[in-house]
Amino acid sequence: MLKFLATSALCLGLPMVALAQSGEIFIPGADNAVPMMKPKPTNPLARCMFDASAANCADVGRSDDGVQFESAVVPQYETLVLDLNDHKVAISTEPPAKPPVYDAPPVDDHVVGHSDHKDPNYSGGKVALPSVAISIEFDYNSDGIRADQLGKLTQLVQALQDPALSGTPYAVIGHTDAVGSAGYNCDLSLRRAASVTQALELSYVQLPLYPVGFGEHVLKDEYNPKAAANRRVTFLRLPDHPGAVLQTASAVCH
């Protein structure tokens, strides 16, 4: 019955509803349609990037799973807490208090931070989302991808091409150390994010990728703000309706 309805819908030019967060597929007008499960990521890094949790990210990079990174760098996840009212960002090593609901409805600007706003991701105008800190590193004052980072980029391409991630939006976030002016660092971080985004797109990654610059606002090594480890690019899975989060992320440097 499901196959007949799907075929009929396609023949008549009717739209198919997109995948729900639960992985179910529904055909318009078919109230009794049997749900079909969306495939789960098979690539270990794709699992981490799709659902950045300790369980999904802990084993990425081990020698027995086929995912290797230069300098034995293993991806970690960091929680970014974005304040949609003040356009600020903070970092936490703890996972979000509640798992993100990526298919939540779009945020209505006039209710962000209000008590009547029911979006499950937002509390007091803030949203906490886990980002995957793969840390593609850069030389001082440079936005060029170093040759020793290409191994990471290759693994990223393979992960982001996993069919289960199809259509999933990501912010590609550039970072700098704290040397130099804040304005210059914001520009440099955006150029770093753009370099990685372009490299991924040229490698046929067809996901929605949004380069964002955080400058020196989120340091990996807060005890040594000038450390090379702070010059990096990380990845944040965005909600299916990313407008409010992207607006805040883009405003951090302004």
- Quote the pLDDT of residue 70: 41
Residue 215 has pLDDT above 90, yes or no: yes
Please give the average per-residue pLDDT across 35-41, as a whole number: 73
| CA dist., res. 163 & res. 38, Å (int) | 10
| CA dist., res. 205 & res. 186, Å (int) | 25
Residue 76 has pLDDT above 50, yes or no: yes
- Quote the pLDDT of residue 62: 59
List the domain boundaries for the chain: 1-38, 44-251
- Quote the pLDDT of residue 8: 42
Query: Which range (9-23, 37-51, 82-96) has the least confidence?
Result: 9-23
Structure tokens at 138: 């850069």
Digit-coded pLDDT (tens) for 190-213: 999 999 999 999 999 999 999 999
Q: Which CATH architecture has domain 44-251?
A: 2-Layer Sandwich (3.30)
- Quote the pLDDT of residue 19: 35
Strand 170-174 and strand 122-123: the pairing is unpaired
The pTM is what?
Answer: 0.78
Please give the average per-residue pLDDT across 109-129, as a whole number: 63
Residue 17 has pLDDT above 50, yes or no: no
pLDDT category at 107 given cuts 50, 70, 90 is low
Buried b / exposed e over 173-184, threshold 16 CB at 10 Å, is: bbbbbbeeeeee
Contact 159, 196 (CB under 8 A): no
| CA dist., res. 109 & res. 17, Å (int) | 26
| CA dist., res. 250 & res. 252, Å (int) | 6
- Quote the pLDDT of residue 36: 60
- Quote the pLDDT of residue 86: 84
Structure tokens at 19: 């995948």
Collapse the DSSP code of 85 into the 3-class scheme (helix H, G, I; strand E, B; otherwise coil) and give the result.
coil
